[in-house]
A and B are shown apart, each in its own frame.
Chain A
Amino acid sequence: KQEVTQIPAALSVPEGENLVLNCSFTDSAIYNLQWFRQDPGKGLTSLLLIQSSQREQTSGRLNASLDKSSGRSTLYIAASQPGDSATYLCAVSLKGSGNTGKLIFGQGTTLQVKP
């Protein structure tokens, strides 16, 4: 059974710091991995999607890496800003579920960036 774990559960950093959020999964037979952002009382926004054949994806100050063999992904946020404060969720799509939106989520890392 696929399990997705995110560490740490919460993180507080001063503005400007670079930081890394971690995600691990137990079954390497994934179709892809996504990172989402969730703001309080709101829905999820997709940040980055990494296909199983890829090693990383970048968007602006965000960089996500994927190491399937070790079952790990990291989300790197450069030069953090108070507006980055949110909960970050990692989710995998299993190979068996094909190219669908059936995802298994981690419990998230709640990030607070202090001005």
Chain B
Amino acid sequence: NAGVMQNPRHLVRRRGQEARLRCSPMKGHSHVYWYRQLPEEGLKFMVYLQKENIIDESGMPKERFSAEFPKEGPSILRIQQVVRGDSAAYFCASSPSLGPGANVLTFGAGSRLTVL
């Protein structure tokens, strides 16, 4: 079991380009969460997804950001027309289906986005 896999680990983009961050949850986990850690700040919840459904996107910026978790394949966090303020570490976490262990998250190593 390889744990939560995120790629790329490091991504550099110029202003105006698109960034796509991928997350493969742990085997057997069907819930995915994305968190963002801005420099000198704590982790902030962005979005919670299940397969083919966005459950809670209350932490997502209103524009340019989107997330999906298709039936097949990894979850994708997409940032369009990146700006310097998007530079951060983006962490993905997964958990099993609702139940006693549902809020025991397993985190990935993060994807570090740098916008030039």
Contacts and interface: CB of A to CB of B under 8 A. Distances in A.
The answer to whether A and B belong to the same complex is: yes
A70 interface: no
A52 to B, nearest CB: 12
A49 interface: yes
B56 interface: yes
Contacts of B104: 46, 49, 101
Given A43-B4, A99-B98, A89 B43 contact: yes
Given A43-B109, A101-B103, A108 B56 contact: no
Contacts of B31: 100-101
Nearest to A44: B107
B36 to A, nearest CB: 11
B43 A93 contact: no
B91 interface: yes
Interface residue tally on A, bucketed by range: 20 to 34
A101 B31 CA distance: 9
Given A101-B48, A102-B33, A102-B48, A43 B43 contact: no
A35 interface: no
B110 A43 contact: yes
11 contacts: A43-B4, A43-B107, A43-B108, A46-B105, A46-B106, A89-B42, A97-B56, A101-B93, A102-B48, A105-B44, A107-B42
Given A43-B110, A49-B103, 20 more contacts: A41-B109, A43-B4, A43-B91, A43-B108, A44-B91, A44-B93, A44-B107, A89-B43, A91-B43, A99-B103, A100-B48, A101-B48, A101-B102, A101-B104, A102-B33, A102-B45, A102-B56, A105-B35, A107-B42, A108-B42
